Amino acid sequence: MKLENGVWKYVFVSGEYRFVHSLDFGKNHASLVKKGETAISAGTINVKGNLFQFVSHGSMTLNVDSRDEDTTELEKILGIPRNDMGC
């Protein structure tokens, strides 16, 4: 999966990651979760070129934190590594 540059909110729910661009008006973490589903983790990432960086861990809207394995899983799904030095 390729995400364009920018800030993205994500959730892990029903065994998959779902993303929404943070500039999409009215979209938040909860908008990625369907009725009856429960998010297991959430966060916000910044994608720039061939790297991504966490902007925040968790979601206040969903009252859920990110998981330790999100980094590894996101690297696999996005096909780019996490940058700890800042994007």
pTM listed for this prediction: 0.90
**Residue 43 domain boundaries:** 6-78
Q: Is residue 86 part of a domain?
A: no
pLDDT of residue 23: 80
Q: Is residue 54 part of a domain?
A: yes
pLDDT of residue 25: 66
Mind listing the pLDDT tens digit for each residue in 43-86? 999 999 999 999 999 999 999 999 999 999 999 999 999 997 75
Q: Is residue 24 part of a domain?
A: yes
The tokens 């998010």 sit on which residue? 39
Q: What is the DSSP letter of 59?
A: B
Mind listing the pLDDT tens digit for each residue in 23-44? 876 788 999 999 999 999 999 9
Q: Is residue 57 part of a domain?
A: yes
With 0-12 / 13-18 / 19 or more C-beta atoms within 10 angstroms meaning exposed / middle / buried, residue 63 is exposed
Q: Is residue 85 part of a domain?
A: no
**Is the Cβ–Cβ distance between 80 and 47 less than 8 Å?**
yes
Domain count along the chain: 1
Residue 12 CB coordination number (10 Å):
21
Q: Is residue 37 part of a domain?
A: yes
Q: Is residue 84 part of a domain?
A: no
